[in-house]
Structure 1
């Protein structure tokens, strides 16, 4: 990552004890940069922030409608969920409708992030299933598309028709030829682009018009599903869910691993992409909140904002020792 700039500061008493650097880009309807921090052309892996792009073929192909998928399913296709009952029950029902089982997933079986689901597994001596994976909604979408295309079961293979469709969509909305990919935590390819390209893609979603063409119609359905079902996108107490609920206008947010974030701002016709250089989640949360405050979409004193931006740091006795705050250049 070239030329990162300060994004989030960690204060202890009177001293900025640590500084997280990174890059951010805001694009307008034409895909042009209206504001940037750092080098917009730095290459990135957007990780789970790209899920709504990966879901475009599911919708525009007609696969989603053929299976009767509704907004909560499409939100899950874009989600990194907690593995709470609200998530796993919906994905399991979706899987059953495809006449498939958990073993048909290719995403792996971690313990759920949701505390109740986690404790239930421990208490009963149960084992996690792949449906508990935070990406199981995306993978249910992949399986739906694979069936629609009459393609084989190894849908995470980069040469599989599902992943070829995802790459075509990715390059179309970023307006870039991807130089390659990494394998994501859920085993699917994650394609590279510039940070500018990712912000440009989010501006495409923000400016898409229902009925203009299949891709634009799909983009509108996906961001609207995320906004309508923020708890499906992440989960209770998660930053994406809380900040989407707190925004004064419709905003679709998606965190990606290693400090990545996107925002789709349909009323402003803007797209945002940011990457924290050291991969810090706390810095990514603070930075996206600061950018939303900067644009007037989020109140600085909203309780959800204050969980992530200007958030107090408490020691083990509950004494305030410092705070997490955005760098002055973001304000």
Structure 2
């Protein structure tokens, strides 16, 4: 491979098999790390020290400076959930972000995330029927960017808040390196134009473990961690949307656990009851595999009922074709 190779496949193990009839049709390989509240690895599969881009799985970390600075002291749980969201651009998402920007005296043009068609089929159909294109409010990261704008104003910094040297992104990098307890070896530009800092998988799981162990009254950072994880768990529809794995998993766990997906098959979970943090990376970027593994791990940890419809759907199937005939199933290989 060329100079851009991250070595993400090094030490990977088989994690998910897709089975048709009696034969394995395809296999997804990857890595898993589970950490305790001190950030120490307690269980792992594959290579837990593999370097990855966490992508959107780390949005709760990117939101820490918003609260720690005091800028977001009065934000509601719904707004904090949106700051951590990869939403699907449904009306409830775009309208809520729009109201947030209005309260700041700003608008959609102040965002720097760019526009894409909403992930919501209904919202997409509405735009097509109206003969309209998407705006930046439809971007799945628009809530995170509203938070960035709020922080930028609080810091009296410039409007180009996605620049890596901007005060907002310097604050994000500082928080990211502190909660992962490692210096990031660099960054890539994410789909929403903000820097995304590389880290080890076990360091990302360690950060989630620290979020899980945080308790109100434990200091500014602990208080911020609690507010963010509780907002995510309390507002799962805002974090993702109808039918999305993040939403369905959090709803099935009754608001006790926060989970978050990231592009290229990264997934994290924050489990306060057990003071555990989980991070998953699937080498081939297969989202179905990342969803299957995180669901299986949550069942393994005892916080998700194995019989819950979302657990069955993501981890096993069975899968049916357009005529309702069972064609296959899935197996998650966590031994």
- What interval of TM-score do these two structures reach, taking the shorter chain for normalisation? over 0.9
Residue 213 (structure 1) shift: 1.3
Tell me how far apart the structure 1 counterparts of residues 330 and 62 of structure 2 sit (CA, whole Å): 33
Instruction: Please give the secondary structure, in 1, of the residue aligned with 2:19.
Output: strand
Answer whether contact 2:84 2:239 (CA < 8 A) is retained: yes
Partner of 2:87: 81
1:55 aligns with 2:63: yes
Instruction: Please give the secondary structure, in 1, of the residue aligned with 2:72.
Output: helix
Tell me how far apart the structure 1 counterparts of residues 52 and 276 of structure 2 sit (CA, whole Å): 20
Answer whether contact 1:233 1:240 (CA < 8 A) is retained: yes
Q: For structure 1, which runs of at least 5 residues remain unmatched after alignment?
A: none
Partner of 2:276: 270
1:95 aligns with 2:101: yes
Partner of 2:191: 185
Q: 5 Å matches for 1:223-238?
A: 223-238=229-244
Q: After the TM superposition, which segments of 4 or more aligned residues of structure 1 sit over 6 Å from their partners?
A: none
Across the aligned residues of Structure 1 and Structure 2, the Cα RMSD in angstroms comes to 1.0
Partner of 1:321: 327
In structure 2, which of residues 1, 11, 19 is the aligned counterpart of residue 3 of structure 1?
11
Q: For structure 2, which runs of at least 5 residues remain unmatched after alignment?
A: 1-7
Answer whether contact 1:248 1:297 (CA < 8 A) is retained: no
Instruction: Please give the secondary structure, in 1, of the residue aligned with 2:112.
Output: coil
Answer whether contact 1:206 1:266 (CA < 8 A) is retained: yes
Tell me how far apart the structure 1 counterparts of residues 330 and 288 of structure 2 sit (CA, whole Å): 8
Answer whether contact 1:311 1:325 (CA < 8 A) is retained: no
Tell me how far apart the structure 2 counterparts of residues 43 and 79 of structure 1 sit (CA, whole Å): 23
Answer whether contact 2:234 2:255 (CA < 8 A) is retained: no
- 1:184-211 CA-to-partner distances (Å, cap 9, x unmatched) read 0000000011001000000010011212
- 1:4-42 CA-to-partner distances (Å, cap 9, x unmatched) read 111111000111111100000000122111100011111
Partner of 2:4: none
Tell me how far apart the structure 1 counterparts of residues 183 and 292 of structure 2 sit (CA, whole Å): 31
Residue 248 (structure 1) shift: 5.7
Tell me how far apart the structure 1 counterparts of residues 234 and 29 of structure 2 sit (CA, whole Å): 32
How many corresponding residue pairs?
327
In structure 2, which of residues 168, 172, 175 is the aligned counterpart of residue 166 of structure 1?
172
Tell me how far apart the structure 2 counterparts of residues 96 and 161 of structure 1 sit (CA, whole Å): 23
Tell me how far apart the structure 2 counterparts of residues 327 and 161 of structure 1 sit (CA, whole Å): 43
Answer whether contact 2:32 2:278 (CA < 8 A) is retained: yes
Q: 5 Å matches for 1:1-331?
A: 1=8, 2-65=10-73, 68-247=74-253, 250-329=256-335
Instruction: Please give the secondary structure, in 2, of the residue aligned with 1:261.
Output: strand
TM-score (norm 2): 0.96
Distance 1:328 1:178, change over 3 A: closer
